[in-house]
Each structure stands twice: as structure tokens, then as C-alpha cells.
Structure 1
Amino acid sequence: MDHVPEHVVRTLWYIDLMARNGTPLPWEAIDRYARRTPPRGPRRRSPFGGGLAELFVESGTLLRHAEPVADYLRGVGWVQDDDGRARLTSIGRAVLAACGEVAEQLDAEDPEVADVALDPQDPLVYVQLTRRLQKAGAGLLVDAYFKADSLVWLIESTNLRRVLISSRHPKSEKDRQTIAVALATVPNGSDVEVRHTSDPALHDRCVVSEGGEVQLLGSSVNGVGRHLTAVITPSADIAKAYRQKYEALWRDAAVVEPQPVRT
């Protein structure tokens, strides 16, 4: 797509890369990136020689400063402002994909598709799940039926540091007690905060990344490996609804205090 300036394509790629890795680019940082010329590699001496050579790049094109792109990208509907963070729209992704070489570069760095099915027959099913959750950074796991058995895996294999569980189901009191003991006894258990709520609004399982991105989980993490489930990345408007809903539940939830084993 020669009619799309190189620095616009490069900025689209960067916005998408950051969002897909759980750290969406702050809106005000877009033009800082777009207008900053990346360091150039070795180049041939210009045939013009002297001081005039500094005004030309290798192709002989006059060097000029890149123009800002943030307002343009939003104006044409390629990028949207999601609570101060930049995310590509479906149109923006189509434009990026049409830019061939850049899209191939992005796929080479992260070949995963947005949605994935976790097959219990796959011996690497937890590896796939872990790779997806690692992108969330120090985010929030919403899992009504989270068990203490999964706590060590959560701490050692992901960077998630908040877990919201339900206290409505019949066995929830026993589960909370077991989790409380695990928080006090497993290595680095104090790095994770677990809260519980009896609010019936806690229903779907999801991960809210440190940067605000949302992934929907088809089952509880302790059910992965036993049932076919899916990890789905919803559209920006749906993700925003989930994020606001579960962050509000988190704020009002009660803390599961670590409980050392009593002798």
C-alpha cells in the first residue's frame, strides 16, 4: 500500500503490537512515536557530496519531518481512543494486514490468532493458556471457581496478581479457607491478592490485563485440561463493558486474608 505513508503504517503496527501484548499505547504517545525517526543503519555516500548530502536520504528524496498521525488515524476510523489508550479498529487491522510486509513481521513475532480453542487432548494445553495469560501482565483474573491448586501455577507461570472469586456457591467457604492457607504457605503467595464477592453479577470468566485488554475464558482455569474451552478476545466495546463491570466488583469485594496453618 504505497499510498499509506511508511510512518503511518509503522505506527499502526506499533499500536497493535502494544495492545496485543497487554499494554495499549497511551493516546498522547502516538505522535511521539510516529514523528520520531528510527535510527538508520549504514548508508552509501550521496553522489551530491558536501553539506548538501545531509539533506538527502539514500533514495535521493528530500528529508523532512514526519507529520502527526493520531488525529488522522482516529478521523479515518483506523484507531479508537479507549479510555485514553489506543487500539486498532477492525478497519485499522484490515489496513495493517494489507500492508503485507509489516503484517508478516507482526505475525512472525506473535503467530497466535486472537481466539484459540484449548483441547483437553492437547498435552500442551496449559502451555497455550499460560502464553495467553502472560500477556495480561499484572492483571486481574476473574474466576468464580478458582481453586488453591492453581495458585502455584498462577504465581510461577504468569504475572497476574489479582484474583476475583465467588462466595455464592455451596463450597465457596471451604475453597476460601484453602486459598487463605495457600496464600500464607506457597512461595511468593503474598504477591497475589484474592478477593471474593457474593454479587450474582460475577458470572463470566475473564482476564483483564494490566493495560485494560480483556480475554474471555470458556471455563475456569482448573477446568482446562478436562473440558474443551476457548479463549476469546472480544471487540473493544464489549471489552470495555467487562472491564468496568469487574473492576467495580473488585473494588467492593472482600479480601481473602492469608491464614498460616495452625498446629
Structure 2
Amino acid sequence: MDHISDHVVRALWYIDLCAKQGQPLPFESIDRFAQQEPPRGTQRLSIISGLSRMFEESGPRVGRPDPVADYLLAVQWITKDDQNLVRLTKVGGAVLAASGIASSQIDAQDPEVADVALDPQDPLVYVQLTRRLQKAGQGLLVDAYFKAQSIGWLIESTNLRRVLISSRHRSSEQDRQQIAVALATVPNGSDLEVRHTGDRALHDRCVVGATGEVQLLGSSVNGVGKHLTAVITPSDDIAAVYRTKYEGLWQKATVVAPQPVTA
């Protein structure tokens, strides 16, 4: 963006990335990142460009970029909680979106194709997953091992409004108790409905979109960022089978009721 320094936009992108991966950035870490010049990749230099580089490096040094943390807070592009952790405000998110950096970073790695690999070594892996889930609108996430810690991210970053989990695995009772508390305490938790089923037929992970499209997930949401996995769009006939199967299980499943914490 012409009116905002590149390192300011880069700081906004990094703050947003960390928050969406469940690791909000401490306020004091913002300038440490923003003022550090990223390392250059390998380059092949011609004789002319090599001489040009020599003259550049022998010329006057440009100082480090100015600090940005206090500025971002002053213009209300970020907000800081009582633990000194930061997130973008709606205005900050709008500025980042207008800059185009987020979409250009994702588009370089996640073009409009049916399938995408989610590599744990990719720093944008959760951004890519979020983008895929956003395409489902107010759809259904089927994830047997879905955990309470993913509820905030799901509500804040996607429009999914239903989650179907399993009650058959060893930690399912504890998971449901934690989910019930999260639904009652996480902001806008009432927007999400979670149901559980003991049906053996629930063994896949997928997203059924609001308009019926299906995406298959190679692992539980909890495993993204830990293991190599993928999001795959099946053919229409296979998608229809998944859609019918899991919408049927949803109708018969039991609601996980929000459980407020009492003193």
C-alpha cells in the first residue's frame, strides 16, 4: 500500500497469523519482528549486478525501520488484553485485507484448485485451512476428535455453525465436558451447535458446505500443523454419499448443551 510502510503491513500480517493459529503475539514481540529484515534467498548475480551490489553495500547505510507497536495500538489497528497479547481489531483486519498481502501469500501457495496439501512446515498452514473452511459457509464440520480449544478459532475465523463429534473414543466424555464449558464461555459460543454420536459410521473427517459441497479432511482439525495432511474435494457422486450419510447422523445425534461455569 502506498500510504503504509511495508514493515507495518508485514507486522499486521504476522499478528493476524499468530492469533489465528491460537498463539497470540506478545505486545513486546511486535517490534522485534517488524524491525528485523527478513533474510534474503539465494540469488545468482551477473558481473554487472555483482558490481552494482558492491556499490550499494559501500554506500550510506539506511537505518532500521521505525517501531510500529505503539503506532498500531494508537490508531486502534490492534488490541491488547490483560496478558499483553495482541490481536487485530476489525479496522486492522480491514487494513490488512486492503493491502493484499494476506491474499497474495495464500494465492502463491493455495491457487484455486480442488485439492490442497497442508504441510506442518508451512507457516500459513492454518490460514490455508481457514480459507478452505470459509468456502463452506454455515456448513457442518464432521470431526470425531474435535477439541474445545478449536471452538474460538472456528467461530471467529469461519462461518461454520455445526460440528458433529464422536462419543466412542476414550476421551470423549472429557472432551464433551470441555466443549460444553467452551460453548458457554467463548464469545459468540451460542452461534455454534455441537452434537455427538456413538454411531460407528462416524469415522471420516469432512466439511459439508451450506450449499451441499463436500471437502474431505485428511486429519482432525487438531492434527493440522502437526502432521502432513490434505483437503480434497471429491467427485459429485462421492460427495452426495458423504452428504447424505453425515446429515443423517446429525439429525439423530445428541446436542452438547452449553455448561456455564458456576462459582
**Coarse TM-score class (shorter-chain normalised):** 0.5 to 0.7
In 2, Cα distance between the equivalents of 1:174 and 1:228? 27
Cα deviations across residues 75-113 of structure 1 (Å, max 9, x unaligned)? Answer: xxxxxxxxxxxxxxxxxxxxxxxxxxxxxxxx99x9321
The one-letter code of the counterpart of 1:216 is L
**What residue number does 1:218 align with?**
218
Stretches of structure 1 lacking an aligned partner (at least 5 in a row): 1-106
Q: Which residue of 2 aligns with 1:51?
A: none
User: After superposition, what is the alpha-carbon deviation per residue over 1:204-234, rounded to whole angstroms, capped at 9, x for unaligned?
Assistant: 0000000000000000001100000000000
Measured in 2, the distance between the counterparts of 1:148 and 1:194 equals 10
**Alpha-carbon offset, residue 193 of structure 1:** 0.2
Matched, 1:231 2:231: yes
Answer with 1 or 2: which has the greater Rg.
1
Q: Does 1:252 align with 2:248?
A: no
Q: Quick one: distance in 1 between partners of 2:128 and 2:167?
A: 29
Name the SS for the 1:146 alignment partner.
coil
- Quote the residue 1:126 is aligned against: 126
Q: What SS does structure 2 have at the residue aligned with 1:231?
A: strand
DSSP-derived class of the 2:149 partner: helix
Q: Secondary structure at the match of 1:194?
A: strand
Match of 1:148 in 2: 148
User: Equivalent pairs: percent with the same residue?
Assistant: 83
* 1:157 partnered with 2:141: no
Asked if 1:137 is matched to 2:146, the reply is no
Q: Please, what TM-score do these two structures have when normalized by structure 1? A: 0.58
Deviations 1:137-196 (A, max 9, x none): 000000000000000000000000000000000100000000000000000000000000
Post-superposition, which runs of at least 4 consecutive aligned residues in structure 1 deviate over 2 A? Answer: none
The secondary structure found in structure 2 opposite 1:141 is: strand
Partner SS for 2:239: helix
RMSD, aligned CA: 1.4
Match of 2:99 in 1: none
Gap runs ≥5 in structure 2 = 1-106
Give the Cα–Cα distance (whole angstroms) in 1 for the partners of residues 239 and 253 of structure 2. Answer: 21
Query: Aligned to 1:183, what secondary structure does the other structure show?
Result: helix
Count of residue pairs the alignment pairs up: 156
Distance 2:199 2:237 in 1: 23
